[in-house]
Each structure stands twice: as structure tokens, then as C-alpha cells.
A and B are shown apart, each in its own frame.
Chain A
Amino acid sequence: MSKLVAGAALGPEQFRVRRADLIRYAAASGDFNPIHWSDRVARAAGLPGVIAHGMYTMALAARAVTTWSGDPTSIQDFAVRFTKPVVVPDDDDGALVEVFGLVKDADEDGRTRIDLTVTCDGERVLGMAGATLVTADA
């Protein structure tokens, strides 16, 4: 975890999100809300079209953090707000989600806090996003 020093800027980690990813996430998570696979239903709900599950975007943000920490089980606390939907067009490019991190000071228990900025098309899609990592072996 040597690169997780206070003040370090991490990323961006980039994730391409396509319609097929949302279908697969729906099946794996059990969240079959049609706004994540039907343009008709999404538009009726006032959205521009199919949007990614907020939980899918959150999962990608967690992947970015564990990529940086090098340990897929290092996140002890992880919180986000869903501020703006990730609209996923029905094409081969889909949407690009980018995750940036900023390492805060380690707390008295030796845990490391990383504040996250998660964007799509340059706009923040998650707010108040941050992870606290266990760094027992640091």
C-alpha cells in the first residue's frame, strides 16, 4: 500500500459500460428494474434512456479502490450518493465511467480514507463518495 500516502492522487481508472454489462449485472444482483434494460420504460420514467444500476457504478468504484490497494477485501467502509444517472446508449461504445481517488490522512486506527470522484462525460455521477481501507499490514 506504499502509494496510498496522504495527498496522493490516484487514477483515473476507466470502465466501459455497455448494455450487455447491465443485463449481466441485473442477473447477478437480482435487480431487474426495467429502467436498466428498457428504453421505453426508462423514458416513461423521465430518463433520456436506459441507465446503469447505481449499484453497478458503485461496484466499479470499489474495483478502482481495490486496484489501488492491491487487496480486493481491503474496503471496510464504502459510501456513495447517486447524484446523476449513467446513461448507457445502445451501441458498441456504451458509456465511459472514470474513477479518481485522493488519499486522505490515515486515522488513529491506521485506516486509510480515499475520497472518490466518479464521472461520466465529465460530470459527477456519484457524490460524497469515499472508502475506508483496512491497512493492518501497512
Chain B
Amino acid sequence: MSLDPGLVGRVSPPTPLVAVSRAQIAAFADAIGASDRVHHDAEIARSAGHADVVAPTTFPIVVAFAALEAFLADPEVGIELRNVVHAGQRFAATRPVTAGDVVSAVLRVESLRTIAGTDIIGTCTDITTAQGEHICTASATVTHRTPEPGT
């Protein structure tokens, strides 16, 4: 059974505000091997014109992922998590995530197509600070395949 086309336009409630820490940014940078000091040293980051240490390009996924997981796990949406594949990702940044940012994510469903039994869901997650400043829009495309009954 494919998903309800009425999902398009659905907006999820904002994720709880979280404060991004220097340690979190450093751990993410270390995990991907990003050794530039602007991810690790606040003084160096400030001398490069940033407010504090800045996160690598794909770090916003950490915030966006919480919104995506909540959406996918919502029983009203009717998705089975084990049948979901992350098919595409885009980041459109206004500025890098910076240590000390207090951020929240709001996900909306942009598009839904069904091709040969596979739902292709386009989502768009805006990450903003508590003050309402836009940091990044993280767009994820996920596919959802419902197995045929009996298979």
C-alpha cells in the first residue's frame, strides 16, 4: 500500500531546542577526519571571523536527523522504518553551525511520488536558532518500499 498523497505539505512540530557544544562539533569533525583547527579551536575560529568553533558542512544532519526520525516513526505517517532507504541529501547553508547555537528543526513534506510500488518522499528540514535565524535547510529524499503481501 502506498502512502497517502495528503502527506505533502505536512509540517512536523519543531524538534526540542538543543545547544550545540564545542565537544559535539569536535567529535563529529574527528569522526569524519576533518582536522582543520576551526572545528577544534575557538581562538583560531574567532581569528577566522567566526563566533566560535564551526561545524563541518554535513554536521546539520545531526539536527535534521532527529526531525526525520520523528517523522518516519510517526504512526500516522504509515511508514515502516525497516523499509526506508536514504536516497538523497542536500544542504543549503546560510552559515555554518557554530558552537553555542541553540537550534531546532522543522520538517515539511515537499513531494511524494510512487513508482512501481516504491514511495519517493521529498522532505525539507529548516534548522534555525532559538532567535529564529536560519542556519541551514537540509533536504532528504527517502524511498519507502512496502513488500507485497506474502513475500
CB proximity of A134 to chain B, nearest CB, Å? 9
B115 at the interface (CB under 8 A from A): no
CB proximity of B123 to chain A, nearest CB, Å? 14
B108 at the interface (CB under 8 A from A): no
Partner of A28, one of B31, B48, B50, B66: B31
Partner of B57, one of A15, A31, A59, A81: A59
A122 at the interface (CB under 8 A from B): no
B27 at the interface (CB under 8 A from A): yes
- Tell me whether A72 and B56 are in contact (CB under 8 A): yes
Q: Could you say which residues of chain A place their CB within 8 Å of the CB of B89?
A: 54-55, 58, 79-80, 82
**Measured between alpha carbons, how far is A124 from B1 in the docked complex, in Å?**
32
Partner of A62, one of B27, B30, B56: B56
- Tell me whether B39 and A72 are in contact (CB under 8 A): yes
Q: Could you say which residues of chain B place their CB within 8 Å of the CB of A79?
A: 88-91, 139
Q: Could you say which residues of chain A place their CB within 8 Å of the CB of B28?
A: 28-29
> Main SS of the interface on chain B?
mixed
- Tell me whether A63 and B33 are in contact (CB under 8 A): yes
Q: A72-B38, A77-B91, A79-B90 are in contact. Are A27 and B57 (CB under 8 A)?
A: no
Chain A residues numbered 45-104 whose CB sits less than 8 Å from any CB in chain B: 45, 54-56, 58-60, 62-63, 65-66, 72-73, 75-82
- B141's nearest neighbour on chain A, judged by CB, is A81
Partner of B31, one of A25, A65, A76, A81: A25
Interface residues on A, range: 20 to 34
Partner of B50, one of A73, A75, A76, A78: A73
Chain B residues numbered 124-151 whose CB sits less than 8 Å from any CB in chain A: 139, 141
CB proximity of B121 to chain A, nearest CB, Å? 14
Q: Could you say which residues of chain B place their CB within 8 Å of the CB of A78?
A: 57-58, 90-91
**Measured between alpha carbons, how far is A25 from B58 in the docked complex, in Å?**
12
- Tell me whether B34 and A29 are in contact (CB under 8 A): no
Chain B residues numbered 44-103 whose CB sits less than 8 Å from any CB in chain A: 48, 50, 54, 56-58, 61-62, 65-66, 82, 85-93, 96
List A residues at the B interface (Cβ < 8 Å).
15, 21, 24-25, 27-31, 45, 54-56, 58-60, 62-63, 65-66, 72-73, 75-82, 128
List B residues at the A interface (Cβ < 8 Å).
24, 27-28, 30-34, 36, 38-39, 48, 50, 54, 56-58, 61-62, 65-66, 82, 85-93, 96, 139, 141
CB-defined A-B contacts under 8 Å, sample of 13? A25-B31, A27-B31, A28-B24, A28-B62, A30-B62, A30-B66, A59-B56, A60-B33, A75-B91, A75-B93, A78-B58, A82-B87, A82-B89
